[in-house]
Chain A
Amino acid sequence: MEAGIVAYGVYIPKLRIKVSEIERVWEKSASGLGVIEKAVAASDEDACTLAVQAARVACEDFCIDPKRINAVYVGSESHPYAVNPTASIVAEALGTSNKYFAVDMEFACKAGTAGLQVCYALKKAKMIDIGLAIGSDTAQSKPNDPLEFTAASGAAAFFIGDSKEEVIAEIEHTCSYTSDMPDFWRRPKAEFPEHTGRFTGEAYFKHVISAAKMLMEETGYKASDFSYAVFHQPNGKFPLKAAKILGIDLERVKQGLLCPYIGNTYSASTLIGLASVLDVAKPNEKVLAVSYGSGAGSDAFVLNITDNILHRRAKVKVWDKIKEKQYIDYALYVKHRRKIKL
């Protein structure tokens, strides 16, 4: 059996703010983004707590003994510490042994899929039993910045192994397309990230399309071979446009397109979409997943769903998880996101 996904878990904070509420405060329209509302981490949540929640639910749903985890990679652009790893806190909270590889990953919104590639490589090299890759973010945004309409919070955890009884989706192939294209960044002491407006769209499509085409060239697959396609979701429209450029039926993107209802969860974005696809995919279906991280790069994957999916899935589907929500107004939003300094 090829190395692949043996378990997955998603955590989306309960709080939501409607984009219309942010529009009301700043008297601006964000209708072009295709986002209705976004998930907001509470004031006692951060990328670390979200990561733990996502990984724990996966351990429970798929009966994974944390002692089997030999690698922990947490991708985020909002790690709670500048120095002190999130990965070791997550592992300790899961109850792993002390024999595991660990590091925090950072590559804007693709740090989670980069962790997935590392775990896949370690598994192929037979250096681990199970590897854990997490994408988790409580994305920051300056008040009244276009990012504020979409920057959201969420986490997804993927466990990589190769047991034929456990693998639900084989990773058939992965590749990355990377270049130096600074479209979004945050300097060390800056509280909020900066971006280049429309240039971020140019960077997104250059990398996402190039990575997807590279993957198809290297594997021989055509757009029509994929039952589902998941792309990084900075807004509700870019993934659909990427699919159109690649000749992928838009209906095959919708299952994994959560951004309109939870916002852009940064490092978790592609992974939450992929989890949603695994909630419904059938054996032998092929799934294309392409992340995007500013700065810039895209990781592309093709997954082959196995028969194990019939008896190994998350207990609560992602589309059902997002129904548990509590709306807050802008005042509570700035309190929870610590934009009010006490």
Chain B
Amino acid sequence: MQNTAPLNWRRFPERYLLRGSYCETCKQAFFPSRAICPNCRRKGKLISIEMPRTGKIISYTRVHVPPEGFKNEAPYYLAIIELENGAKVLSQIVDSDPEKIKIGAKVKKVFRRIAEPDEYGTITYGYKFKVVE
């Protein structure tokens, strides 16, 4: 059993609440969080914010050969989503008709199991997205 619990715990704000960064100087949002604004460097003033729960698909693929921990899921859709504030998120798409998973489709955040390495370790929870009308 891999002891991934401490690593996962440090990412709870990101995975549970989509917490990222926002630079008050250049007004740009970043996900995941940044230690320093890539635009403003030392002049940037980053704060932690919860990202919007909705966005749109800007690219996607269908995964048939999953990595460890995702065997129960395959086949599944993976997409790059642009959130309403411009930040981009890589996420699984669930609960969606395959015909509706397309570039430009509106999506909303849902809370799901992300991975389960084995039956003894901790379960990783976090965000996925679903297509909404």
Contacts and interface: CB of A to CB of B under 8 A. Distances in A.
Partners in one complex: yes
Interface of A: 14, 42-46, 48-49, 52-53, 56, 80-81, 84, 89, 92-93, 95, 326, 335, 338, 342
A57 B114 CA distance: 20
A28 to B, nearest CB: 28
Contacts of A89: 125
Contacts of B113: 44-46, 49
Contacts of B106: none
8 contacts: A42-B95, A43-B72, A44-B94, A49-B111, A49-B125, A84-B122, A95-B17, A326-B97
A92 B72 contact: no
User: Helix, strand, loop or mixed for chain A's interface?
Assistant: loop
A326 B128 CA distance: 18
Question: Interface on chain B toward A: helix, strand, loop, or mixed SS?
Answer: mixed
A342 B125 CA distance: 21
Contacts of B112: 44-45, 49
B42 to A, nearest CB: 31
A92 B12 contact: yes
B24 interface: no
A53 B73 contact: no
Nearest to B122: A84
A299 B17 CA distance: 34
A45 B111 CA distance: 8
A56 B127 CA distance: 13
Nearest to A90: B111
Contacts of B122: 84
Contacts of B110: 53
Contacts of A42: 94-95
Contacts of A49: 111-113, 125
A44 B72 contact: yes
A48 B73 CA distance: 18
Interface string B12-31: 10001100000000000000
Contact of B125 (A14, A93, A95, A338): A93
A44 B128 contact: yes
The winner among A14, A49, A56, A338 for most chain B CB atoms within 10 A is: A49
A268 B71 CA distance: 29
Interface in B111-126: 111-114, 122-123, 125
Contacts of B71: 342
